[in-house]
DNA sequence: CCATCATCCTGCCGGC
DNA sequence: TGCCGGCAGGATGATG
């Protein structure tokens, strides 16, 4: 499941590999994923990659002029950077050929999307405009987080996953952040103390930052643009460890359903 | 306004 | 062994 750290890892790889590359052609094996449609890519031919960025879990490729390509990997999407003319990979849905390289969008579950838009409207077109703050952005700090979450009702995890509050947190890092903070994911948000809000904020940053440092969590589908696994899955305390012993206290970790998502936590370490 | 549900999809897992 | 039903899950849109 690509979340902020996984997308950030891919963005950094693409930024160093693709700046200056000239777009040549789109090959689509799954047209439904492409907005507004295949013919829109005719205008992109000959444009060069100016920079690669990220907003939440969206990957953004800026071209010279005013063209912007936005990608969202959703559940199972994967980017593979390769040379030209290679055989279609398993689950390869769309392929963007550049002069020297080929960016291939693989996605078993077909939930991923690609948008081509202009600098003036790419945020509205893709849904980026509905996102909340970047967790590593300048405007957020413990006070901002406390004010933002202090107004919210419902489970802590539900609000962590709400992209319109803080952008980029998904199931893995939400569970890990709750563990770091010693807070149960199902806790009513408004019941958190001031101290707990600060702990949770710091835990979110810690979980995400650790994910970035380790080049992402490779569980099921995620690999970087060169097909290599991340290392963060070796450092997870709770995600995917339901029924196993807590690394902190040896208690058997509980598996639950919170905000409609599979959730794991420690009954002893998290209150 | 809020919460819940269906939708999109396929791989995988458990049951028989 | 092999088939099949059911389920997970990010985001959105419909429904209650």
Q: CA at A90, C1' at B2: how many angstroms apart? A: 41
Query: Token pair for residue A79?
Result: 């980017």
Which residues, including other chains, have CB under 8 Å from residue A117's CB and lie 6 or more apart? A67, A68, A70, A125, A126
Whether A48 is a known active-site residue: answer no
Query: Token pair for residue A158?
Result: 């539900």
**pLDDT reported for residue A221:** 66
Residue pair A51/A62 in contact (Cβ under 8 Å)? The answer is: yes
Q: Which residues pair with A53 in a beta bridge?
A: A60
Whether A99 is a known active-site residue: answer no
**pLDDT reported for residue A36:** 95
Say yes or no: Cβ of A152 under 7 A from any atom of strand C: no
Residue pair A211/A4 in contact (Cβ under 8 Å)? The answer is: yes
- Whole-angstrom distance, CA of residue A228 vs CA of residue A10: 11
Radius of gyration of chain A (CA): 20
Whether A6 is a known active-site residue: answer no
Say yes or no: Cβ of A159 under 7 A from any atom of strand C: no
**pLDDT reported for residue A1:** 83
Q: CA at A109, C1' at C3: how many angstroms apart? A: 22
For Cα atoms A78, A61, A75, give the angle at the middle one, nearest 5 degrees.
Answer: 25
Per-residue model confidence as pLDDT tens digits over A41-81: 999 999 999 999 999 999 999 999 999 999 999 999 999 99
**pLDDT reported for residue A34:** 97
Whether A3 is a known active-site residue: answer yes
Q: CA at A56, C1' at B9: how many angstroms apart? A: 23
Say yes or no: Cβ of A163 under 7 A from any atom of strand C: yes
Catalytic residue among A3, A6, A8, A21: A3
Say yes or no: Cβ of A171 under 7 A from any atom of strand C: yes
Residues in chain A: 271
Say yes or no: Cβ of A137 under 7 A from any atom of strand C: no
- Whole-angstrom distance, CA of residue A145 vs CA of residue A201: 7
- Whole-angstrom distance, CA of residue A135 vs CA of residue A145: 10
Nucleotide nearest the Cα atom of A170 (by C1'): C10
Q: What are the b/e assignments for A65-97, b being 16+ CB within 10 Å?
A: eebbbbbbbbebbbbbbeeeeeeebebbbbbbb
**pLDDT reported for residue A8:** 97
The strand B neighbours among A residues 30-89, by Cβ under 7 Å, are: 32
- Whole-angstrom distance, CA of residue A261 vs CA of residue A252: 19
Q: Which residues of chain A have pLDDT under 70?
A: 220-221
Say yes or no: Cβ of A1 under 7 A from any atom of strand C: yes
- Whole-angstrom distance, CA of residue A25 vs CA of residue A22: 10
Q: CA at A217, C1' at B6: how many angstroms apart? A: 30
- Whole-angstrom distance, CA of residue A107 vs CA of residue A90: 9
Query: Token pair for residue A220?
Result: 């099921």
């Amino acid at each position: 499941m690509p979340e902020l750290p996984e997308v950030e890892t891919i963005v950094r790889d693409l930024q160093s590999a693709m700046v200056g590359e000239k777009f040549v052609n789109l090959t689509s094996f799954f047209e439904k994923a492409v907005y507004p449609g295949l013919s829109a890519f005719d205008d992109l031919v000959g444009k060069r990659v100016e920079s690669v960025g990220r907003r939440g879990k969206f990957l953004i490729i800026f071209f010279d002029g005013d063209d912007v390509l936005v990608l969202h990997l959703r559940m199972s999407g994967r980017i593979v950077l390769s040379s030209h003319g290679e055989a279609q990979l398993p689950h390869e849905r769309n392929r963007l050929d550049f002069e020297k390289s080929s960016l291939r969008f693989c996605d078993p579950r077909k939930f991923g999307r690609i948008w081509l838009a202009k600098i003036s409207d790419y945020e509205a077109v893709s849904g980026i405009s509905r996102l909340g703050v970047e967790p590593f952005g300048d405007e957020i700090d413990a006070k901002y987080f406390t004010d933002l979450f202090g107004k919210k009702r419902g489970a802590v995890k539900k609000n962590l996953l709400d992209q319109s509050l803080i952008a980029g947190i998904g199931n893995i890092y939400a569970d890990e952040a709750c563990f770091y903070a010693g807070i149960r994911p199902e806790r009513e948000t408004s019941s958190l103390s001031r101290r707990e809000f600060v702990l949770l904020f710091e835990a979110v940053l810690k979980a995400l930052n650790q994910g970035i440092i380790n080049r992402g969590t490779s569980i099921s589908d995620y690999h970087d643009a060169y097909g290599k696994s991340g290392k963060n899955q070796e450092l997870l305390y709770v995600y995917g460890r339901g029924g196993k012993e807590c690394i902190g206290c040896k208690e058997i970790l509980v598996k639950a359903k919170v905000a409609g998502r599979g959730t794991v936590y420690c009954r002893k370490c998290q209150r």
